[in-house]
């Protein structure tokens, strides 16, 4: 769901909170080392991680972290901050809001998808072959109501009443949209 830059920005924002400029400089140096290390391992075709992470993704992550740590260090130097405070980082805060909005959107879309899947699982999809007479009746009713025949059949099915003795009936109704 998130790009390497998104993940790096989120992690750096959390890890940098309350760090002094010297600690941030150490993080820049570590990220530079890791970026070189993972890029070299990728060039050699070796596995970058014992955790099963895609070597290309890991290399991209360290490159993004290195860039973000450099941005944070530059911001601190330019603004004259003794320690990094995420809330004062305008660009970092904007990116965090965008990530959260995308996350919420993805979660909402997933919830809609899951609900549709549940509803589809509860529903019945059937192909129905009727003889000529009932077929003509259904088509005539559908035409008068301005509906497709399948919708009339669905409305019939929704109104089915099963009596205690097992008989099936449908009370009179007007098909509607």
Question: What DSSP string runs through the chain?
Answer: ---HHHHHHHHHHHHHTT-BHHHHHHHHHHHHHHHHHHHHHHHHT----TT---HHHHHHHHHHHHHHHHHHHHHHHHHT-SB--GGG-HHHHHHHHHHHHHHHHHHHHHHHHHHHHHHHHHS--------HHHHHHHHHHHHHHT--HHHHHHHHHHT-EE-TTS-EE--------
pLDDT at 87: 95
* Domain map (residue ranges) of the chain: 4-122, 132-169
pLDDT, position 117: 85
Overall pTM > 0.85: no
Predicted pLDDT of residue 46: 64
- Give residue 34's pLDDT: 96
For residue 121, the model assigns a pLDDT of 73
pLDDT at 51: 56
What does the pLDDT profile of the chain (177 residues) look like in tens digits?
A: 688 999 999 999 999 999 999 999 999 999 999 999 999 988 887 654 555 678 899 999 999 999 999 999 999 999 999 999 999 999 999 999 999 999 999 999 999 999 888 877 777 777 888 899 999 999 999 999 999 999 999 999 999 999 999 999 999 999 988
């Amino acid at each position: 769901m998130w790009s390497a830059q998104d993940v790096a920005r989120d992690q750096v924002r959390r890890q940098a909170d309350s760090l002094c400029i010297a600690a941030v400089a150490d993080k820049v140096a570590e990220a530079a080392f890791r970026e070189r290390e993972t890029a070299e391992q990728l060039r050699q075709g070796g596995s970058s991680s014992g955790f099963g992470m895609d070597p290309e993704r890991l290399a991209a992550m360290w490159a993004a972290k290195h860039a973000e740590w450099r941005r944070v260090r530059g911001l601190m130097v330019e603004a004259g901050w003794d320690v990094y405070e995420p809330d004062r980082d305008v660009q970092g805060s904007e990116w965090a809001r965008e990530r959260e909005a995308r996350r919420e959107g993805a979660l909402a879309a997933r919830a809609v998808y899951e609900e549709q899947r549940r509803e589809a699982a509860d529903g019945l999809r059937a192909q129905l072959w009727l003889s000529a007479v009932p077929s003509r009746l259904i088509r005539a009713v559908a035409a008068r109501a301005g509906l497709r025949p399948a919708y009339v059949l669905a409305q019939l099915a929704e109104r089915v009443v099963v009596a205690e003795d097992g008989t099936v009936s449908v009370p009179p109704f007007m098909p509607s949209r």
